[in-house]
């Protein structure tokens, strides 16, 4: 039976970023139930970084800001490709709801000095397909960029292996036993041991907790779907910003010469290889038709992913208060990609040094907001 310092369960972006940081000074094993890392939420993310994201959630905002420099200036040799490219975000709203747009501006202006109110003419110049009722005013945030998820994932994998970390795929955890010497984890055929196990299993974190006889945190997987459609024949869309309805009814953005549209739905789902439902696809097409001049003749592709939250919608990061050596890394919702670098550093620092990284403290990270101990009501 092979021994490690830390076993990470789940090879999504959260698990890989934590394993990458832990492997700097520990022997790390990552276990993944699928045949490839990042199969579920990681590979289906809109992957947009906005430094002001989470302005109403200080812990999320701190993790977001703490990740920005990694995307802009990754470690030497981390990736052959840039991890980001400029996108920008344009917030719009129906003309009858302009007051909501103005209120949104007031709430996040202090977090982002780059915001600019746009006139109808400016909005139409930037995104010509918006209908008049959705282009009367807008807020533009230039400090938004897209993350190359593949390059980020490959960088973490390369770095993990370069630090002698190990990734085992097609490993479905069926047994977890805690003894004085640490954790023993098995799939019924193979077993591994470690003093610490990091539960980064995404939508399955509560399933892993139950196997380990740890009280679940009450994860709520929510399905979000998207469609890919053709732009108007007379429009080149590559340099358009992401367009977001400020009331979160829809968003769309360029995607390799096409337009990706989502109704921003959040439908409760069991943990699974989630697929879009016909109603999801219909709603996305409906909102695209309501807000734009897109004439959707066919839907080229549709997909869905799971956004995983606990009740207060803050992440869950830290050692379980009741079971020794069981570390939670869960509930990253729709911001797991853009917070992964900071979250990975936080996990490594908490496990190896029992402290918060100084730069995250400087950004105002309060562990009380994300610690498992805050979840007084645990779920059977």
Which secondary structure element, helix H or strand E, spans residue 171, and what is its range? none
* The two three-digit tokens of residue 102, written as one number: 């103005």
* Sequence-distant (≥ 6) Cβ neighbours of residue 103 within 8 angstroms: none
Contact 320, 214 (CB under 8 A): yes
Note if the pTM is more than 0.85.
yes
What average pLDDT is seen over the chain?
Answer: 93
What's the CA gap between 64 and 329, in Å, rounded?
16
Residue 342 lies in a domain: yes
Contact 224, 299 (CB under 8 A): no
Q: What is the pLDDT of residue 128?
A: 96
Residue 82 lies in a domain: no
Do 226 and 163 lie in a common domain? no
What's the CA gap between 40 and 210, in Å, rounded?
21
Q: Average of pLDDT values for 58-84?
A: 95
- pLDDT band (50, 70, 90) for residue 181: confident
Sign of CA dihedral 147, 151, 154, 156: negative
Provide the angle, in degrees to the nearest 10, between the axes of the packed helices 149-162 and 336-352: 20
Q: What is the CATH number of the domain that holds 137?
A: 3.30.9.10
Which residue, 237, 255, 64, is CA-closest to 146? Answer: 255
Do 349 and 228 lie in a common domain? no
Do 355 and 212 lie in a common domain? yes
Q: What is the pLDDT of residue 54?
A: 66
93-134 per-position pLDDT tens digit: 999 999 999 998 888 777 777 789 999 999 999 999 999 999
* The two three-digit tokens of residue 189, written as one number: 């055929």
Do 299 and 229 lie in a common domain? yes
Pairing of β 28-31 and β 166-168: parallel
Q: Average of pLDDT values for 75-93?
A: 95
- pLDDT band (50, 70, 90) for residue 370: very high
Sign of CA dihedral 342, 348, 350, 356: negative
Which secondary structure element, helix H or strand E, spans residue 306, and what is its range? strand 301-309
Q: Is the pLDDT of residue 347 over 90?
A: yes
Domain that includes residue 55, residue range: 2-77+148-219+312-374
- pLDDT band (50, 70, 90) for residue 46: low
* The two three-digit tokens of residue 247, written as one number: 């009331």
Do 235 and 295 lie in a common domain? yes
Residue 84 lies in a domain: no
Contact 48, 89 (CB under 8 A): yes
Do 94 and 228 lie in a common domain? yes
Q: Is 30 helix (H, G, I), strand (E, B) or coil?
A: strand
Q: Structural domain tally of the chain?
A: 2
Q: Average of pLDDT values for 332-337?
A: 90
Q: Which among 282, 307, 332 is the end of a domain?
A: 307
Q: What is the pLDDT of residue 224?
A: 95
Any alpha helices (H) in 80-204, and if so which ranges? 98-108, 120-126, 149-162
Q: Which among 307, 325, 346 is the end of a domain?
A: 307
Q: What is the pLDDT of residue 114?
A: 79
Residue 265 lies in a domain: yes
203-258 per-position pLDDT tens digit: 999 999 999 999 999 999 999 999 999 999 888 899 999 999 999 899 999 998 99
Q: What is the pLDDT of residue 7?
A: 98
Q: Is 71 helix (H, G, I), strand (E, B) or coil?
A: helix
1-24 per-position pLDDT tens digit: 799 999 999 999 999 999 999 999
Q: Is the pLDDT of residue 43 over 60?
A: no
Q: Which among 260, 287, 307 is the end of a domain?
A: 307
Q: Is the pLDDT of residue 288 over 60?
A: yes
């Amino acid at each position: 039976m092979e021994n490690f310092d830390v076993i990470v369960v789940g090879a999504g972006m959260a698990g890989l970023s934590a394993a990458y940081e832990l492997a700097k000074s520990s022997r790390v094993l990552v276990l993944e139930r699928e045949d490839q890392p990042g199969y579920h939420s990681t590979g289906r993310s809109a992957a947009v970084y906005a430094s002001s994201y989470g302005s109403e959630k200080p812990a999320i905002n701190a993790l977001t800001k703490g990740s920005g420099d990694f995307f802009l200036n990754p470690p030497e040799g981390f990736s052959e490709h840039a991890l980001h490219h400029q996108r920008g975000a344009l917030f719009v709203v129906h003309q009858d709801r302009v007051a909501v747009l103005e209120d949104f501006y007031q709430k996040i202006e202090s977090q982002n000095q780059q915001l600019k109110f746009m006139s109808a003419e400016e909005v139409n110049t930037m995104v010509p397909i918006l209908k008049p009722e959705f282009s009367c005013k807008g807020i533009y945030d230039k400090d938004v960029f897209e993350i190359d998820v593949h390059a980020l994932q490959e960088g973490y994998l390369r770095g993990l292996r370069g630090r002698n970390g190990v990734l085992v795929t097609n490993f479905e955890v069926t047994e977890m036993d805690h003894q004085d010497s640490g954790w023993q984890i098995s799939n019924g055929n193979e077993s591994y041991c470690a003093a610490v196990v990091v539960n980064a299993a995404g939508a399955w974190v509560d399933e892993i907790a139950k196997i380990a006889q740890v009280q679940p945190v009450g994860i709520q997987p929510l399905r979000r779907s998207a469609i890919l459609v053709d732009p108007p024949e007379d429009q080149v869309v590559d340099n358009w910003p992401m367009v977001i309805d400020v009331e979160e009814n829809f968003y769309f953005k360029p995607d390799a010469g096409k337009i990706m549209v989502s109704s921003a739905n959040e439908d409760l789902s069991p943990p699974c290889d989630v697929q879009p439902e016909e109603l999801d696809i219909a709603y996305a097409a409906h909102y695209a038709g309501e807000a734009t001049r897109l004439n959707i003749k066919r839907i080229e592709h549709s997909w869905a992913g799971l956004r995983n939250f606990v009740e207060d919608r803050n992440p869950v990061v830290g050692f379980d208060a009741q079971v020794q050596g069981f570390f939670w890394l869960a509930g990253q919702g729709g911001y797991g990609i853009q917070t992964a670098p900071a979250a990975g550093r936080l996990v490594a620092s908490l496990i190896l040094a029992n402290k918060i990284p100084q730069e995250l403290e400087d950004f105002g990270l309060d562990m009380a907001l994300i610690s498992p101990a805050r979840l007084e009501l645990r779920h059977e």
